[in-house]
Structure 1
């Protein structure tokens, strides 16, 4: 988890340096982040399913080694296209390691207090990785001769350490208990292609030649939505076939990639948890990106000074993940998620009202502290809840679904906030008499500030919507953590939460 966050944070803080050296226009710099998120988010379900079937340890090691190889390739890239393509391949490694890691933890730690600590430790990888990515990445960009290339050497070294650690410490893969181990290749192709096109459109729609009215943007969006809808219909059909007492053994009806009935489990709270994760990440990650751009592009700070301003967030995030295991087995999830998402939204609110001469200690410092609560509480509570609801052979693919929602939420949040930023920048500049501001470089400083504020207002809306969903739909969800393991031979809390699997009902 730390390696994944380092790969995003270190490249984000290096964006201005990359843009200058490789002559990448400002509007296309986001693809260095988006290419990684595109593949890591869209392949999570497919690779999570393969990990469940063919071995989570194997998937984790191969994914880590893939990140090593393509991370080093990024360090040697000399043009924009090569770097974007290699970043996409680097994201495939993350799509393999994260769901495999969640599945490994779910099987290694049965429902108990130890499981709460295990998943909280996993979620602590996010602030730890963000800290390493920003602190070490900013220092490397600023002080080394290799500048931004050093950040990829750094992330590749961490990936290699993770691979070696997995080989030495993970138990051998146990064979899957599923009777039918076939892979739904058609479903995998439909959802992977559909999500890829949708995320691509979200990432590129605003910077396309004619914006959202560009012909290929409209066409790809329509195709992406159709393929995603076809995947849903196909999965419903396969699940109905699997649940039938006289189910067919035809090679055309393999087990579904993901049983869509999982969304209904725990009386629909599973689905609510996914959408809260979607909204929360649309708030937090987008806030972080716009805050970095505000410090570097508006205030003109170098990477090291920008990094220093995020240190309170990293420290608070680490402390939160020490506190979460103590709270998660005692405090109802509605309190944890409701307060966490509200505080993350307040961090965006501080930057939405920041003034041109606002002191850091009045806005930036409290904003950095408040920003991490939603993500740290959401990730720990969400992953434990998913592990409770998912069946043993679904652990990796269910964790992959949770991570997919966070990735798509990030892409959606960045897209909506970018649209708001561009629209506010153009309207404010036009009101001040500046017409030729297509790239925003000659927009007045006040117009740029209003644009940054508009983007942060969007982040605030995402955070508040996540808080509202928590209060409306999870008020009776109770406590998701465990004080101790259930007695041997008794019905586990997991079975009570989700009921018998569909096959048993049939």
Structure 2
């Protein structure tokens, strides 16, 4: 339900069902395990691509599709499936998504041909697109604004670094030391998904009817945004690999079509919202982006740029170690292992301070640290000791991603109405996916431009430096946006240690009346 304050501010007044402490812990653990499984499934394939290629006879230039197929299907369906979860039940979509991931992970493990594996990897990514937005909606609905909500969101966010470590480190060990080799990680992820299904059955509360009276689905909007995001993600991922690079005719054509489809989606959503009551409800109300005086849009842009910067830094750091310094993949992984530990600690930090530190300060602080990581690799010297550049950079790099995700999803949940929680989470996740593809595409263009035009033995190093300078610029832009536009949000967590104080007016909550809430 949505209630109104004296000044007309609409606030989330959903009364969460009474539940035991163990069920709450099990629910958070289940959602976190789902996030771990999602990230591990996404990143693990990149570790054993050469092994799959040798086993199934896949050409080297085609191996990347095993990673891209998962990201494409997962990223393009987040918005649509998030909206459907809000309408028809978040628990149902969580169970369907985790079961789907289990089935197709198992299928990947038994695949015998490259074509079969490509198709199954694409279908595998549909599962996370269904359950990740549902998880955010479930956590927001189950835990009203409180310290418990902060703990739940921070714990869920910690699933990302844990999943990254599990997918890379454990995935590499399974491939190396088990008889099934590259099939073993897929079997592991199938088992983890089954655990998520079982946990969801017992821990997640039954779905309640939506507060919206009109449950018709905006299928036209769903098609436009899904097709547009698919084409844009494809172009960003394949532009450099096309026969003529970004000048390849089909790359240019698909980019134009993708942008046109997104523009058409925006115009269509505007028309539906303008004619609300006469036409079916929009997939995404454009007014959602104006929430909290436009700060909802700002945090989405920051998420986009932060993931552009962070994943670009991470990718080019790996390339630098393996291609320039000539380290083995194992030694490279060890040099970057501190990211996982720091990532978990960052989420614990957010959990402890989110009710005491201003939102803008937290975001600006985190994105600045990501910028520092990129700066260290932008000026790194191969002759310098590891402790000078290589040691501190992975430690500080994750601050931005973890602070933006944990605090950002809390803020998004706070300014969204009860029936919008999974949709809003889907928007956030979609922007991070687009940001990842955008950052890698832009930094690759810069890297190739500098490396291709350089001469001498220092040309590759200058190219790596240039890519990291680009990531540095993206992270700095995040900090400037946080400082310039997030001031005034205040604290997004709730400090339950001060029950005697009067609650402060929440200017970040949705304003105005929502005709679909009761």
Secondary structure, in 3 states, of the residue corresponding to 1:480?
A: coil
Q: Which residue of 1 aligns with 2:186?
A: 152
Indicate whether 1:304 and 2:356 are aligned.
Answer: no
Q: Which residue of 1 aligns with 2:107?
A: 73
Closer, same or farther: CA 74–354 of 1 in aligned 2, 3 Å: farther
Q: Is the 8 A contact 2:291 2:508 kept in 1?
A: no
CA displacement 1:60-118 (0-9 Å, x = unmatched): 11111111122223333455444333222111111001000000000000011111111
Q: Which residue of 2 aligns with 1:477?
A: 489
Q: Which residue of 1 aligns with 2:7?
A: none
Shift of 1:341: 0.4
Q: Which residue of 2 aligns with 1:321?
A: 347
Closer, same or farther: CA 26–453 of 1 in aligned 2, 3 Å: farther
1:406-445 equivalence runs, <5 A: 406-428=432-454, 431-432=455-456
Residue of 160, 164, 182 corresponding to 2:216: 182
Structure showing the higher helix proportion among its residues: 1
Q: Distance in 2 between matches of 1:150 and 1:351?
A: 34
Closer, same or farther: CA 80–294 of 1 in aligned 2, 3 Å: farther
Shift of 1:29: 4.0
Matched pairs, number: 481
Residue of 229, 235, 241 corresponding to 1:201: 235
Closer, same or farther: CA 154–425 of 1 in aligned 2, 3 Å: farther
Indicate whether 1:220 and 2:254 are aligned.
Answer: yes
Q: Distance in 1 between matches of 2:292 and 2:61?
A: 43
Q: Which residue of 1 aligns with 2:373?
A: 347
Q: Which residue of 1 aligns with 2:32?
A: none
User: What stretches of structure 2 of length at least 5 have no aligned partner?
Assistant: 1-34
Q: Which residue of 2 aligns with 1:164?
A: 198
CA displacement 1:239-289 (0-9 Å, x = unmatched): 0111xxxx32xxxx2100011100001000000000000000111122222
Q: Which residue of 1 aligns with 2:44?
A: 10
Q: Which residue of 2 aligns with 1:437?
A: none
Residue of 203, 206, 211 corresponding to 2:245: 211
Closer, same or farther: CA 23–462 of 1 in aligned 2, 3 Å: farther
Q: Is the 8 A contact 2:443 2:468 kept in 1?
A: yes
Q: Which residue of 2 aligns with 1:459?
A: 471
Q: Distance in 1 between matches of 2:62 and 2:496?
A: 50
User: What stretches of structure 1 of length at least 5 have no aligned partner?
Assistant: 433-443
Q: Distance in 1 between matches of 2:241 and 2:353?
A: 44
**TM-score, normalisation: structure 1:** 0.89
Closer, same or farther: CA 85–110 of 1 in aligned 2, 3 Å: same
Closer, same or farther: CA 498–30 of 1 in aligned 2, 3 Å: same
Q: Is the 8 A contact 2:154 2:406 kept in 1?
A: yes
Q: Is the 8 A contact 1:113 1:485 kept in 2?
A: no
Q: Which residue of 1 aligns with 2:134?
A: 100
Q: Which residue of 2 aligns with 1:331?
A: 357
Q: Distance in 1 between matches of 2:473 and 2:91?
A: 39
Indicate whether 1:399 and 2:398 are aligned.
Answer: no
Q: Is the 8 A contact 2:97 2:130 kept in 1?
A: yes
Moved more, 118-127 or 476-485: 476-485
Q: Is the 8 A contact 1:197 1:220 kept in 2?
A: yes
Q: Which residue of 1 aligns with 2:119?
A: 85
Indicate whether 1:380 and 2:392 are aligned.
Answer: no
Shift of 1:495: 7.9
Secondary structure, in 3 states, of the residue corresponding to 2:67?
A: helix
